[in-house]
């Protein structure tokens, strides 16, 4: 029962964090669209680029970690026939 409760809490926190990152990008995008002067648009676009670069770097690091972990998984199953002899 504890395990299920912990997994539910973990999944809830994970989804709220993911949506929080998206809303920050969405807010910056709305500010870019609503700004009227060219200088404001440029400043919001630069902030948006920084946020997107952070998200992209995090996703790239996670994908590289998954690829490295997959390389460590053996391709063939262990044959214990030689051990029994």
pTM: 0.57
CA distances (Å), origin 54, targets 21, 39, 41, 46: 10, 23, 20, 13
Averaged pLDDT, 17-36: 78
Tokens in use for 73? Answer: 């998984």
Q: Each residue of 34-80: pLDDT tens digit? A: 989 999 999 988 998 998 899 899 999 999 998 998 888 877 776 66
Length, in residues, of the chain: 85
């Amino acid at each position: 029962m504890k395990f299920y409760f912990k997994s539910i809490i973990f999944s809830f926190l994970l989804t709220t964090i993911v949506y929080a990152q998206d809303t920050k990008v969405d807010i910056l995008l709305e500010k870019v669209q609503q700004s009227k002067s060219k200088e404001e648009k440029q400043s919001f676009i630069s902030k948006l680029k920084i946020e997107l670069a952070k998200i992209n770097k995090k996703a790239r690091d996670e994908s590289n970690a998954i690829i490295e972990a997959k390389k460590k998984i053996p391709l063939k199953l262990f044959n214990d026939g030689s051990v029994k002899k």
